[in-house]
């Protein structure tokens, strides 16, 4: 009976629950009778919602009131660029996108989020944070990251199946792009990172790969260190990051979206 009209059953349960609540609040029933009616209602509710279809419907109703996260400004720009592509995907929302850079420092290796990369940097990995709508549910999806140089040549491609669930998902490739080891083969200039899911493009992120800063310092003399500070710290993306990538990226993404 319940499977024939899930919507009607939900409405009926709400009405009965509201009526029972009013009766109990009015205090017209003895305590024992009120408790028995409440237990009977809870038992009926459990029996009805055991239906898979009705359970899903009720879950969706409860989720409608949940506030969905807003994309960062960087993500909005990246999604706007991807809209010009014929395979632009509207199923998922891009919340954030960027690069994790392995930077050599005097005190050792450090990770930072950066839009400006040097051939001195050890390596980098693109990342993305996406929002999966409740209607899609959970499931496997093929996530693809690409890095292309200033000539459009693909220099890095990473594809892997990922289990996506409703809500926020942090996507980070399993391996990095070795910048310093491949410095002799890389073209400096404007590069792009693209993220796609199941063949649908979500965002295109632009970044800059500069020549070796050590070489530039030798060329500009005493102003070299100032140049390095100006290059690395001129963008809000460039901040030192701890090693826990997923949690840090979530936190930074929320800070950017709230600012």
Answer yes or no: CATH 2.60.40.10 is held by domain 73-258: yes
What number is the average pLDDT over the span 123-151? 93
Q: What is the pLDDT of residue 212?
A: 79
**First and final CA of the chain: distance in angstroms?**
51
| Contact (Cβ atoms closer than 8 angstroms) between residue 121 and residue 104 | yes
- Could you give the CA distance from residue 10 to residue 200 in angstroms, rounded to a whole number? 37
Element (H, E) at 193: strand 189-197
Question: Domain residues of the chain, as ranges?
Answer: 2-63, 73-258
Contacts of 98 (CB under 8 A, 6+ apart): 74, 113, 114, 115, 126, 127, 205, 237
Please determine, for residue 7, whether its predicted confidence score (pLDDT) is greater than 60: no
- Could you give the CA distance from residue 53 to residue 71 in angstroms, rounded to a whole number? 32
Please determine, for residue 234, whether its predicted confidence score (pLDDT) is greater than 60: no
Please provide the average confidence, as pLDDT, over all residues in the chain: 76
Q: Which residue has the higher pLDDT, 163 or 17?
A: 163
Please determine, for residue 69, whether its predicted confidence score (pLDDT) is greater than 90: no
Indicate the pTM of the whole model: 0.62
The helix/strand/coil state of 148 is strand
- Could you give the CA distance from residue 228 to residue 117 in angstroms, rounded to a whole number? 11
């Amino acid at each position: 009976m319940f499977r024939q009209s899930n919507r009607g059953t939900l409405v009926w349960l709400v009405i009965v629950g509201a009526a029972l609540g009013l009766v109990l609040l009015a205090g017209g029933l003895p305590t024992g009778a009120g408790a028995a009616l409440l237990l009977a209602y809870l038992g009926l509710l459990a029996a009805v919602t055991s239906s898979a279809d009705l359970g899903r419907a009720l879950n969706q109703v409860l989720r409608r009131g949940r506030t969905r996260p807003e994309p960062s400004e960087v993500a909005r720009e990246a999604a706007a660029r991807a809209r010009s592509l014929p395979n632009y995907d509207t199923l998922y929302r891009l919340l954030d996108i960027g690069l994790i850079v392995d930077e050599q420092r005097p005190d050792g290796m450090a990770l930072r989020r950066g839009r400006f990369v040097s051939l001195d940097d050890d390596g980098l990995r693109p990342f993305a944070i996406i929002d999966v709508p409740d209607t899609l549910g959970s499931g496997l999806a093929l996530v693809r990251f690409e890095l292309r140089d200033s000539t459009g040549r693909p220099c890095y491609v990473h594809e892997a199946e990922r289990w996506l669930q409703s809500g926020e998902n942090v996507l980070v490739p399993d391996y990095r792009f070795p910048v310093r080891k491949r410095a002799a083969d890389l073209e400096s200039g404007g590069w792009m990172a693209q993220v796609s899911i199941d063949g649908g493009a979500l965002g295109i992120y632009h970044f800059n790969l500069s020549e070796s800063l050590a070489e530039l310092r030798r060329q500009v003399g005493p102003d070299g260190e100032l140049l390095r500070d100006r290059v690395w710290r001129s963008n809000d993306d460039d901040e030192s990051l701890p090693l826990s990538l997923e949690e840090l990226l979530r936190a930074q993404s929320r800070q950017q979206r709230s600012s």
